[in-house]
Each structure stands twice: as structure tokens, then as C-alpha cells.
Structure 1
């Protein structure tokens, strides 16, 4: 079930993650499973992104709860904060623990052995189809959200809870190059935080739960 219906999606997902250097593992076609990345530069970038995501969420939270924002701005900012906070918490793996990839590898190994001849039963399951559709929607969303955020900030650069809204008299600043640089940085933050966090949420949590439910049906 996982290898037949879910695996093609994370393989597609991991291509973007590789470009962003936002996860400490990769899929090995030869081994047919996920393996840790050994490249020191990639691991350093991943750890740096973990720290930046945490600091970014902390700055957002401080701006919302301690800044001089109106109630409307606080409610608006809380939506963005929750999205980034979920991603930052989900992707945190500074110690490079292999636990998350072991979950996926266990499914792949199990389906290549004891369940090999029974997978056709769950492949047609409605639960699998619904979850697969939901994960594709998640993939589309995490690709589009940072772009829409960038467009929003270009037209409303002082939107809370983003960085420029933390600067006093934000609306009076006219350095357009500085503003665009900040907006691009925040879009990059959105991409690596959401892509990394979605890896665990979609394929370890949601995919794992669906896999267990389908295995119970078969067995």
C-alpha cells in the first residue's frame, strides 16, 4: 500500500527538499529506502534552517503578543504563526535522529516481505485514495503559500506578523530594495519550513496512520 500509492509522492516531494537542503536524508533507488545524508554542507544547512525556523516563530510570537498590534492584526498574524509553528515543530531534528525515516523504511520493508502478495487488497481502499488526494493537496498548498505570501508582502509590506511589521514607522520607509530582500528571505523561510515539516506530517504521521489501518484490514 505505502510503496504502491504513497511512495511516488514523497519521491516527488524529496526533489524539492533536496534543492532546499531542508531534510537530512534522501531516497536511494538502489536500496529502495530512505538513507541519511552524509554531506556536511547539507547537514549544516539543515541545522541552520532548524534554528532559523525556531527564531522566526519566536519573533513572530513576540510581535503578536508583545508588540503594539491591533486585535485584528493579532488575529491575522496568529494564522501565519500557527502555520509556521507547526512546520518548525514538525521539522525539528537538530540531533539528526534517524527515527522518522525508520518509520517509512519499516513500511517499505514490511510490504516487500510478508504483505507482498496482499497489497492489491489495500490498493483499492477508499481511505488510501482519500488520504492520497489530501496529501497531493498539501503538496500543492505548501508550494503556493510562500508565493502568495510574497505577493501579499509586495503590495502590503507592513502586514503582521512579518518582519517589516516589527519595525517602527514601517510605512514611512522607502528603501524598496531592502523591502524586497526581506520579502524574499521570508518566502525562503516559508518554503524550507513547510517542505521540511510536511515531510513528517504527511508521510510519517498521516501515511503511517493510514498504513496501520490498512494493515489491520488485511491481517
Structure 2
């Protein structure tokens, strides 16, 4: 309420909006009600991927470029989780009445006039602020990291493996002698269909866990977090002293990584439509009543969904275009 109707200055409100966005994302992402069966859906999705990896016949390989990119993204987020609460304290020491921090709700901040509390009260207050932000951010990012980013990266790894066994199976069929061609072809078809059906089950479980809350929070709120954190970083770097000012570039980098990496990875999963189209073009060599033809025609492309929509490969570009366009508009409005 203070961000919208309070007596705080424009600077205090603008620097409070990114933190309010962080709270909204964290609360939505961690606030899960159990399903009718009593299961935690994000936790169930994580266990599903772990069990599939343990039961998969795929050979262990070295870390791919995609895996290294995900590790870098997670490392940056974990570093932000570690130093973020302490930067919040430094920022609050400079603007103790700024929302949405505890100081703006305390009796020591009346009509935007700050009255210095006793040192014991202030110390307890600061510790409570650090504890609150650490608990909120660590709990909120648990599912974002390990029920969204990591499973999507795992899906892409398995899709690359699926493409390899599909291509390898077709090349083997061409090279085999005529006497064993039918047997080899049948084995390759069974392996291909079995692998894709497994990926479809993983996609269903993952979407059931994230499409209701986690993905809408990231798609709906994270762009605004990027907009306002970049706006404050550009326009108010002289008014906010270091090191408290560093929290806004840090929030901008985190939001940018989430918008780009999550959107790009989720959009890559939708490229299975091309793989299926390429496989279906090979169906003309099979009989109309062939089981492989029926099974392949029943396969649908894999997609990461939010609500009734899904993330396409162009979604991250649309989001970034929106973010930078709105940031420029805010800068121009502030200069007028």
C-alpha cells in the first residue's frame, strides 16, 4: 500500500518496486498447496526426473555446453542469494523509511521522519531483516532452480539423445543387409517410440508442476523486475550510495538471466515439432496399418506451458524487447 499511496518520495517508491517484485515471485513460487493425493507437485517432478535418469539406459557423458550454461546461471543466482540480504541492509541504513522494508512499518518512521531507535532494537531489527530475506529468497528459488531450470535442461539433454538414436537407427537400417533389415528396423522403431513416450511423460509431469504458478510468476513478474531494476540503476546511481546501490544491478542481471535462459531453454523444447515432422516424412515407406505409423502420428510436440499458452522460441526476444522498451519509456518520462 505504501508503494502506491504512501507519502514516500518517488525515489523511495521506485527503489522499493524491485524488492516488491522479488517478494511476489518468491511467494508465488514457494506457496504450493498439496494436490488431492497429498503430493507436492514440484517435488514429485524433481523425483520423476531423478528416477528416470537412474533407470535410463543412456550412457553417462561429459558436461555439454548447455549444462555448463545452466551451472553458470545457478551459480550467479546462488551468489545473489548469499550477498543480497546484506546489500538490503546497507540500502536500508541509507533509506530506513523506504518501503517495503521493515523500517517503513515501524513506529520510528512517522510522516517520513526517521527517529533513531536504541542500538539493541536496531541490531535486532537488522538481523530480522537479513533472516527474512534469506528465508524468503532461498525457499522461493528452490523450485525455480530445481523444478524449472534443471529439469528443462535435462529435457533438452534427453531430446538431443533422442535425436541421436533416431538418426543412428535410420543409418543402421540403410547399412544392414537385407536378411536382417526388418529385425533391426523393428528394434530401432521400438527404441524410438519408447524413448519419446518417456519424454512425453516427463513433459506432462513437469508442466503439471510448473504451469500453474512457477512459470506465470517468472513470465509475468520477472520482466517488470528487470525494467525497474535497470531504470533505478541508470537514473538514480548518484542518489543511492555504494555498496547498497549494487543490489539493483545485481537484480537486473538475475532477472535478465532468468528471462533469457529460462525462455530460451523452454523454447528449444518446442523444436521437437521439427524432429517429429522429419520422422513423419519417412512414413511413406510404411504400410497404412503399420503400428509404427500409428504410434508416431499419435506423438505430439513437447512444450513448456503456462496456463493455456506455451513458450515458443521467440518468447525471450519478445520479453526483452518489451523490457527495454518500457525502460526507455520510464527514462524519458522521468526526464520530462
1:118 aligns with 2:56: no
Structure 1: 5+ residue stretches without partners: 1-61
**TM-score normalized by the length of structure 2:** 0.43
Q: Map 1:46-195; keep pairs closer than 5 Å.
A: 62-93=1-32, 95=34, 97-115=39-57, 117-120=58-61, 123-166=62-105, 167-169=109-111, 170-195=113-138
Shift in CA distance, 73/118, structure 1 to aligned 2, threshold 3 Å: same
* Stretch deviating more after TM superposition (105-114 or 153-162): 153-162
Structure 2: 5+ residue stretches without partners: 163-336
Q: Which has the higher contact order (CA 8 A, sep 6+)?
A: 1
Q: Following TM superposition, where does structure 1 have runs of at least 4 consecutive aligned residues deviating by more than 3 angstroms? A: 94-97
User: Do 1:77 and 1:160's aligned partners in 2 also have CA atoms closer than 8 Å?
Assistant: yes
CA distance in 2, matches of 1:66, 1:211: 45
Q: Calculate the aligned-residue CA RMSD, in Å.
A: 1.9
Deviations 1:186-207 (A, max 9, x none): 2111001100111100111111
Pairwise CA distance, 1:155: 4.4
Pairwise CA distance, 1:215: 0.9
CA distance in 1, matches of 2:33, 2:121: 31
Structure whose alpha-carbon radius of gyration is higher: 2
Deviations 1:29-82 (A, max 9, x none): xxxxxxxxxxxxxxxxxxxxxxxxxxxxxxxxx221121122222111001111
**TM-score normalized by the length of structure 1:** 0.64
Pairwise CA distance, 1:175: 2.8
CA distance in 2, matches of 1:97, 1:152: 40
Pairwise CA distance, 1:111: 0.9
Identify the residue that residue 333 of structure 2 maps to in structure 1.
none
CA distance in 2, matches of 1:189, 1:101: 23
